[in-house]
Structure 1
């Protein structure tokens, strides 16, 4: 493997079609497509200032690097990436990629990051700002996530998420086969139109959560005081270790909670309209 150390590049495609190359303490200045159509690349302690540096790259390592604001859309149409201990200040990262490993990465402008990516293995990721991270991604494992980005995890399939703190709006819409463990989910309209969403030991806050969901499961979860009008038109089986502020027209299944502030079962409820609302002492609740 060839090594380039303590160098600077700029302009158009300075390292185009490089293979078996290690970059150490290299700066990529303003320009486009610095490392395009490449394979077996290692970038260690490097700084990326120009647009689109890693496009159509197959097999690469990025460690202790920094992507400046100008390095937007840096990682597209590539595969088999391992990224560690890196900070990204640019938006629109990770697009149309597969086989990605990430450990200890922070993205300070998470606008449209991780779109149409498959097979992601992520540990300790921080996302700040932006909209729609992880849109249309499949086969994701994450342990350790902090995010305040809006509309996270929409149209995602096959996600396993552990130890997350998510503050957002409209998260987990139109998802399929998602399981979340030991996490805090703060935001409005959580999990609408989801299929096979399972929340285990989670704390949930925000208005109108978990509506229009199919085969929704909650195990030993807590719902904050602002979780009102929950479960509308959902098929749900839930064990809630707290009061529920209000429940509206769940379609079918069973919900067990400490107490219910308000139960709304009106003429608009959808069939089979047989969801059982229970207390932990096995009494069944119902509206007037």
Structure 2
């Protein structure tokens, strides 16, 4: 493997079609597509300032690096990446990629990051700002996520998420086959139009959660006092270790909670309209 260290590049495609290359303490200045159509690349303690540095790269590792604001759209159309201990200040990262491993990474402008990526294994990721991270991703395993980005995890399929703290709006919309463990989910309109969404030991806050969901499962979850008008038109099986402020027109299944502030079952409820609402001692509170 060729080593390049303690230098800088700029301009257009300075390392185009490089292979078997290790970069140490290298700075990529203003320019475009510094490392394009490459393979077997290692970057350690490097700084990226120019646009689109890693496009069409196959097999690469990024360790203890920094992506400045100018390095927008830095990682597209690439695969088999391992990224560790890295800070990213640029938006629109990770597009049309697969086989990604990430550990101890912080993204300070998470606008439109991780779009149409497959097979992601992530540990200890921080996302700040921006909209629509993880749009249309498939096959995610995430352990340790802190995010205040809006509209996170829309149209995601086949995800296992653990130990997350998410403060957002419209999270987990249109998801399919997603399980969330031991997490805090704060925001409005959680999980609408999801299919096979399972929440285990989670704390949920925000208005109108978990509506229009199909085959929704909650196990030993807690709902904050602002979780009103929950479960509208959802098929749901839930055990909730707290009071529920209000439930509106669940479609089918069973909900067990400590208590209910309000139960709304009106003429707009949808068939089969047979969801049983019970208290923790298994007494029936209401069954349509």
Question: What is the correspondence of 1:27-46 to structure 2 with a 5 Å cutoff?
Answer: 27-46=27-46
Residue in 1 that maps onto 2:104: 104
Is contact 2:275-2:287 (8 Å) kept?
no
Residue in 2 that maps onto 1:203: 203
Cα distance in 1 between the residues matched to 2:85 and 2:64: 5
Find the residue that maps to 2:71 and give its secondary structure.
Answer: coil
Residue in 2 that maps onto 1:149: 149
TM-score (norm 1): 0.99
Residue in 1 that maps onto 2:264: 264
Is contact 1:88-1:108 (8 Å) kept?
yes
Question: What is the correspondence of 1:277-288 to structure 2 with a 5 Å cutoff?
Answer: 277-286=277-286
Find the residue that maps to 2:103 and give its secondary structure.
Answer: strand
Is contact 2:278-2:284 (8 Å) kept?
yes
Residue in 2 that maps onto 1:181: 181
Cα distance in 2 between the residues matched to 1:175 and 1:96: 18
Is contact 1:263-1:287 (8 Å) kept?
no
Is contact 1:53-1:75 (8 Å) kept?
yes
Cα distance in 2 between the residues matched to 1:110 and 1:280: 41
Is contact 1:264-1:287 (8 Å) kept?
no
Question: What is the correspondence of 1:233-252 to structure 2 with a 5 Å cutoff?
Answer: 233-252=233-252
Cα distance in 2 between the residues matched to 1:104 and 1:283: 47
1:98-138, Cα deviation, whole Å (9 max, x unpaired): 00000000000000000000000000000000000000000
Cα distance in 2 between the residues matched to 1:96 and 1:12: 23
Is contact 2:251-2:271 (8 Å) kept?
yes
1:70 Cα shift?
0.2
Aligned length: 288
TM-score (norm 2): 0.99
Is contact 2:184-2:203 (8 Å) kept?
yes
| TM-align CA RMSD | 0.9
1:12 aligns with 2:12: yes
1:283 Cα shift?
1.0
1:162-190, Cα deviation, whole Å (9 max, x unpaired): 00000000000000000000000000000
1:220-269, Cα deviation, whole Å (9 max, x unpaired): 00000000000000000000000000000000000000000000000000
1:287 Cα shift?
8.7
Cα distance in 2 between the residues matched to 1:231 and 1:135: 24
Residue in 1 that maps onto 2:122: 122
Q: Which runs of 5+ in 1 are unaligned?
A: none
1:26 Cα shift?
0.1
1:286 Cα shift?
2.6
Question: What is the correspondence of 1:17-96 to structure 2 with a 5 Å cutoff?
Answer: 17-96=17-96
Cα distance in 1 between the residues matched to 2:94 and 2:282: 49
